[in-house]
Amino acid sequence: MTRRLALFDCDGTLVDGQAGVVNAMEASFTELGLPAPDRHQVRRIVGLSLPQAIRLLAPDTNEAIRAELDAAYRRIFRAARESGQLVEPLYDGIAELVGDLAAESWVLGVATGKSQRGLEHCLATHGLTAHFATLQTADHHPSKPHPSMVETALTETGVEARHCTMIGDTQFDMAMAVNAGVRAIGVDWGYHTVEELLEAGAEAVATSPAHLKELLQ
C-alpha cells in the first residue's frame, strides 16, 4: 500500500493563531519603545520563523534591536501560553478532517514557523498529538520557503516526495512545497489570498476542510 503524507501548516491552517501572534508582537515592540507594526502586516508574516518575521516588520532596526525583539516576543508569548491566556481555536471541521485522514491510513505531519514547544502545546490542547507522525518546527530549520522542513518530514516518514502534499494558507507554504518538489494545496481560511496561493504554486485552493479532503483523494 502506498504511503501518503499530508503535511499541514499550523497557524492559519489547523488553528487560528493570529490573535496571540499579533498581541505578542505589539507588546514586544511597545516594550522596546518602538512603534507597533500594523496588525495586517503582522498577520501577513504568520508562518515565517520569528527572526525572519521580525526582519520584515522592523527593517530599519539593527541586529541588536531585532535580537531584543525576538527575546521579548518569545517571553511574552510563552507567558500568555503558560497563564492560559493564549487562544488558538481549531478551524471548524479540522478535527474531523484529521481523524478521517488518519483512519484512511494517511501519514500526517506539521511544518510550521512555531517553536517545538508551542506546536506540541497546541496539538495537545486539541487532543490531536497522536495523529501526527512528524513535527517540523522553526527550532530546527531555516524559515519557509526553504524546503528543509518538508525534506526532513519525508525522511522521517519514509514517504516519497511524489506522495506528499503540503497544505497551507500562505505563499510561504506553497513556495516551500514547490522548492521541495511536493504537491501544494492552499486553504482560503488563513492569512493570504487565493490569488497569492495560486501564484506561489498551489495546485488548488480548498474552501473548507471537507473540500480539502476531496482534493486530497
Q: Is residue 9 annotated as part of the catalytic site, yes or no? A: yes
On whether the CB atoms of residues 45 and 37 are closer than 8 A, the answer is: no
Q: Is residue 70 annotated as part of the catalytic site, yes or no? A: no
- State whether residue 165 is helix, strand or coil: strand
Write down the residue that cell numbers 494558507 correspond to. 169
Rounded Cα distance, 205 and 215, in Å: 9
Of 11, 16, 169, 173, catalytic: 11
Of 9, 16, 169, 173, catalytic: 9
Cβ-based neighbours of 206, under 8 Å, separated by 6 or more: 167, 185, 186, 187, 188, 212, 215
Q: Which residues of 38-52 are buried (b: 16+ CB within 10 A; e: fewer)?
A: eeeebbbbbbbbbeb
Q: How far apart are the first and last CA of the chain?
A: 15
Q: Which helix (H) or strand (E) holds 212?
A: helix 209-216
Catalytic residues: 9, 11
